[in-house]
């Protein structure tokens, strides 16, 4: 699963049914804080804390039982590794695409 931030700042969710990886991919020079407002908050230049509710809004499969089960397992795994915060946001590394 990857949040993709295009050069124009548009945010889309790619590979929404891939629950084994999670990242934010951004075009070079994109003002990420602005593009991800309401979706995630930045932790420096290398990580973002992403709202699960925002991921559900962006995922076309959200609400489907199989997707929700996989997403729930991904969130539980992230929590077991310390990759979630008190509000439930999930930590993602930021990659340049």
pLDDT of residue 22: 95
| pLDDT for the residue numbered 51 | 97
Q: Where are the extended beta strands (E) located within 1-97?
A: 2-5, 11-14, 23-26, 40-43, 47-50, 90-96
Tokens for 64, please give them: 């489907």
pLDDT tens column, 38-70 = 999 999 989 999 999 999 999 999 999 999 999
| Average pLDDT value for the chain | 94
Q: Which domain holds residue 25?
A: 2-96
One DSSP character per residue, 14-26 reads ESTT--S--EEEE
* pLDDT one-digit tens code per residue, 26-38: 988 899 999 999 9
* Domains: count for the chain: 1
Structure tokens that stand for 84 in this block: 């979630």
- For 50, phi then psi, to 5°, come to -105, 135
Distance separating alpha carbons of residues 1 and 83, to the nearest angstrom: 15
């Amino acid at each position: 699963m990857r949040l993709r931030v295009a050069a124009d700042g548009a945010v889309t969710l790619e590979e929404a049914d891939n629950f084994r990886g999670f990242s934010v991919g951004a075009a070079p020079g994109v003002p990420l804080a602005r593009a991800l407002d309401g979706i995630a908050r930045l932790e420096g230049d290398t990580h973002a804390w992403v709202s699960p509710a925002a991921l559900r809004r962006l995922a076309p499969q959200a609400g489907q039982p199989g997707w929700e089960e996989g997403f729930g397992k991904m969130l539980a795994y992230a929590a077991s590794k310390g990759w979630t915060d008190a509000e439930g946001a999930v930590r993602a590394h930021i990659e340049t695409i």
